[in-house]
Every structure is written in C-alpha cells, then in structure tokens.
Amino acid sequence: MSSNHLKITFIISFIFNRYGSTVYSPLLNGILTGKYNDGFPKDSRLKTFVDFPFLGPFVKLFMETYFGEANKEKYIHMLKGLGEIAKELGCS
C-alpha cells in the first residue's frame, strides 16, 4: 500500500467521522526546499492533490495565493532567502 493511499484513506475517514487532525509538515510539502520554484510538475504530490474533490479547492487556493502571477515573484524571492539562511546554519 502506498503512502498516498494511506493518506487518502485517513483523510476520507476523518471527514466521514468528523475527526480533526493536525499535520506537521516542516518543509511544507517541498515548498521550503525550493522544489516548486520553477513551477509544479504534473507528477508532483502537491499537483496531484488538485484532483481530489475535497482537497482540490484548498490546494488551488494555496497555489494561486502563493504561486499565482500576482505573488509568485515575491514568494520565490522569500523562499530563496530562507534557503540561503538554512545553508548558512547548516540546516539545508
């Protein structure tokens, strides 16, 4: 069973049973590593979540807010700056 299948199973179970969940993602699904600085590959995990009926709207909103044409340059610049700080601290 793949990890994505497990995640989907848990998400569906949480929604069906009205459970809450706190998820810790220290690298924000690759955003903080610079993985998406040049766009979102079709096979990326974040891009695949767009197709899920209950997650898609949130992922689309996230992508448009931070990586839409209006804000992309600002956030990419900020993420590159964070990457430089992480390298200086030996945390990259």
pLDDT, tens digit (0-9, with 9 covering 90-100), for 1-28? 566 676 778 888 888 888 887 766 667 7
19 lies in some domain: no
pTM here? 0.57
Check residues 48 and 79 and name the one with the higher pLDDT: 79
Residue 12 lies in a domain: no
Query: Measured between alpha carbons, how far is 92 from 53 in angstroms, rounded to an integer?
Result: 34
Domains identified in the chain, total number: 1
Question: Domain containing 55: what range?
Answer: 27-89
Task: Confirm whether 11 is domain-assigned.
Answer: no
Q: Let me know if residue 6 belongs to a domain.
A: no
Task: Report the phi/psi class of residue 18: left, alpha or beta, with left for phi > 0 and alpha for psi in -120 to 50.
Answer: left
Does 53 fall in a domain? yes
The number of residues in the chain equals: 92
Q: Indicate whether 36 belongs to any domain.
A: yes
